[in-house]
Structure 1
């Protein structure tokens, strides 16, 4: 299996792009071809999942994309990443059917109570393995709008040879999200609070990575979903959820997935699973008021906005969706020249690109199964209240966003991907239903802990200087 950038760089091996993150030409890595999965293979995987659990399925899926790690080593990596004791449920990714027939895919049973754990735990084990094999160290530079940061930091904490520099937008995350990240007291975890929004943080990560000499000198890597291994891990839970739902609904069930998304990573994994042959009827993209992606999927125009709105679903407060380039690469026939023209030439010159008249866009829904919608703050409060009053517990505002959109656009058997436990967004939950969500014991007193942060301007050079000083031990 060889990997190429959406803008043409390559070929590269999996373990090289694992440590490299962003491609040197500014593009994102994808496999040269997607492996194929048929009905017979899915039946084998269904039996495997029932008998041996999630880690065994993860190994079978991941090995389709990885040929430069010995099989037994890769199996051990998956078993360590998805050991049942790391999760609040033995199934790791259980599914439950709601009273209206919607299936909820529970992805927040991991250490940080967010779906990002599902990828970060695997990424941490992969990093530790490959760095140990090479005798190298890695300085990870990432950006978070809320959940990536804590998931990455908990997954990398204590891993030999790994240091994390995580950028977050000042005042843009929930109090719980901030406390969860900033309370970590470890010299290998550096939380940098940037005077800007998430898009600024993400732009800084890309700008620093674009400095090839600095990237090489400081061994920079990535944990954001610009790193292909993040998406690879997320493909697994689409397969697991589809298998569990069709076990209950019957193998002929037409399953659609509704996905709350800001940076397009979560739903990009669903797109790849569908391209592999997983029988997904629809991929329903759910956004909040920052509905740049919905605008593209309904009009064909991609127009990032100068600064994301602050909403009650903060992890989706994103205007520039990094992983969108991976999908557009597939949409335009996997042409690096066309992708480079759109994301470099057109976006830089015009601030947008328009595919509304392109034949690829005109067949987008039939060929790729995408539809899109959005929710407002009021919609999310209403959905949280509806779910609670139906006796089905509490959902966080991002999951509420997806439930709202699924009601309007879902077809066939509808599955909604859960984003985080409600405790991470207590203020919104209390506004919706008048109660504070239960708090797992491990999070009691979290907001009272001392916080460890470094403040920085919206400037890549300032971030480079922080990395220099930290690595030098100043």
Structure 2
């Protein structure tokens, strides 16, 4: 299996290569030359596997330049004792179930892929005698998941940009309280998109990138997207457990996915392209609903930082979705020239008109969308708790809200849970009048000292900081 860039300027590379690179050398996003296929017989053969063993099977279809036994070991370590449960499916009403993705160390779905990268990347570095300086941007949960996955790992440093004052108190505490020497939290005076743009700019500086061994574990890293596709397969297998064996392969399910940077839902799209029986992928946005606008109209118009709203589902406060490039690339026939023309239109006009493809979004690709507001979130948190006794976080509430408009008779609706409600106490309290119970361990976390490096949105200042603290091979 070989990988290429959406922009056509990268020689085909192995999975191990693209795992370390993240962003392609030409500034594009990495894609497989072909999507591996899975059929009903293979899915059925996977039904009794543990999550770790399933991950090794699915990821192994992409990571073909590794000994399968080594990959099994990586997945066993990644999905071990640090997870409190093995991705449970929990019904919240007669038509809807939550896919429990927040059982990891940072209580958010990002752990599902990041713990894999935290084992896979050191494995490749050790094989090659290399070091890596991870540069990332977070709107909330990616940062803590990456830092917990790579803290104190030899030969690795993490430089994580976050928008100053735009994350919940719990999210800040998880990141900023870490005192590992290889973890560097940079609070930027801007919004998430400013942070993301700095990551892209430094990755596009090939001389600086090479001199400082820069890599990324944001969702622009295809390894993370592939790792996330595993839980779509797992959830389909669990949702069809109750169906007679001879009928399982015909059962389709829908997934509602809270979406900001389009990485999580693209993982589901990839699983669907592989052959997983998915009916709909329901893209749920908050008030920063650029993606909803795109899938309803075919016109993609990212917003400026001034027009990016601070909402009660802050991890989705994103107005320029990096992973949409992968979808547009496939939409345009995997043609880098056509993609370059679309991106030139975006740069020139501030938007891209792809409305001629709009009918295909739902009919061919199965992607539909909707927007949720603050009041919707509060109402969904209340309704879910009243009906099931379960407390959901505001991002998951966006998924529950938008899912309601896309139920089909006989088609299970699975909402991807994104985080534990304790991470967003203020919104939960507003909705329910009380907060989700916090363990003593989490209470202690909130009380710990925090340390950050405050910085302007300035590429020169960021370069100097990274150059000073980067780790290098001897």
Deviation at 1:471, TM superposition (A): 3.0
Q: Does 1:64 align with 2:65?
A: no
Query: Quick check: 2:132–2:471 contact (8 Å CA) kept in 1?
Result: no
- Structure 1 Cα separation of the partners of residues 451 and 278 of structure 2: 43
- Structure 1 Cα separation of the partners of residues 252 and 215 of structure 2: 39
- Structure 2 Cα separation of the partners of residues 75 and 196 of structure 1: 41
Q: Deviations over 1:253-291 (max 9, x none)?
A: 330000001000000000000000000000000000000
Deviation at 1:88, TM superposition (A): 1.2
Q: 1:86 aligns with which of 69, 82, 86?
A: 82
Q: Which runs of 5+ in 2 are unaligned?
A: none
Q: 2:71 aligns with which of 74, 85, 88?
A: 74
Deviation at 1:446, TM superposition (A): 1.7
Distance 1:113 1:446, change over 3 A: same
Query: Quick check: 1:58–1:236 contact (8 Å CA) kept in 2?
Result: yes
Query: Quick check: 2:287–2:311 contact (8 Å CA) kept in 1?
Result: yes
Equivalent residue of 2:415, what SS? Answer: strand
Length-normalised TM-score, structure 1: 0.96
Q: 1:265 aligns with which of 263, 266, 288?
A: 263
- Structure 2 Cα separation of the partners of residues 81 and 273 of structure 1: 21
Q: Does 1:187 align with 2:181?
A: yes
- Structure 2 Cα separation of the partners of residues 73 and 177 of structure 1: 33
Q: Deviations over 1:35-68 (max 9, x none)?
A: 0111111110113x2xxx1101001001100111
Q: Does 1:23 align with 2:24?
A: yes
Query: Quick check: 1:164–1:188 contact (8 Å CA) kept in 2?
Result: yes
Question: Which stretch has the larger CA shift, 398-407 or 64-73?
Answer: 64-73
Deviation at 1:70, TM superposition (A): 1.1
Q: Equivalent residue for 2:469? A: 470
Q: Does 1:11 align with 2:8?
A: no
Query: Quick check: 2:20–2:216 contact (8 Å CA) kept in 1?
Result: yes
Q: Does 1:227 align with 2:221?
A: yes
Query: Quick check: 2:93–2:388 contact (8 Å CA) kept in 1?
Result: no
Q: Equivalent residue for 2:354? A: 355
Query: Quick check: 1:331–1:361 contact (8 Å CA) kept in 2?
Result: no
Q: Does 1:39 align with 2:64?
A: no
- Structure 2 Cα separation of the partners of residues 13 and 170 of structure 1: 37
Q: Equivalent residue for 2:401? A: 404
- Structure 2 Cα separation of the partners of residues 167 and 366 of structure 1: 38
Q: Equivalent residue for 1:338? A: 338
Q: Which runs of 5+ in 1 are unaligned?
A: none
- Structure 1 Cα separation of the partners of residues 53 and 93 of structure 2: 31
Q: Does 1:240 align with 2:231?
A: no
- Structure 2 Cα separation of the partners of residues 391 and 279 of structure 1: 28
Deviation at 1:472, TM superposition (A): 8.0
- Structure 1 Cα separation of the partners of residues 436 and 459 of structure 2: 38
- Superposition RMSD on alpha carbons, in Å? 1.2
Q: Deviations over 1:198-238 (max 9, x none)?
A: 00000000001110000000000101011010001001000
Segments ≥4 residues shifted beyond 4 Å: none
Q: How many residues were matched structurally? A: 463
Q: Deviations over 1:97-143 (max 9, x none)?
A: 22232011000000000000000000010111011111111000000
Query: Quick check: 2:133–2:471 contact (8 Å CA) kept in 1?
Result: no
- Structure 1 Cα separation of the partners of residues 282 and 243 of structure 2: 20
Q: Equivalent residue for 2:442? A: 443
Q: Equivalent residue for 1:434? A: 433
Superposed, 1:203-222 pairs within 5 Å as: 203-222=197-216
Deviation at 1:249, TM superposition (A): 4.8
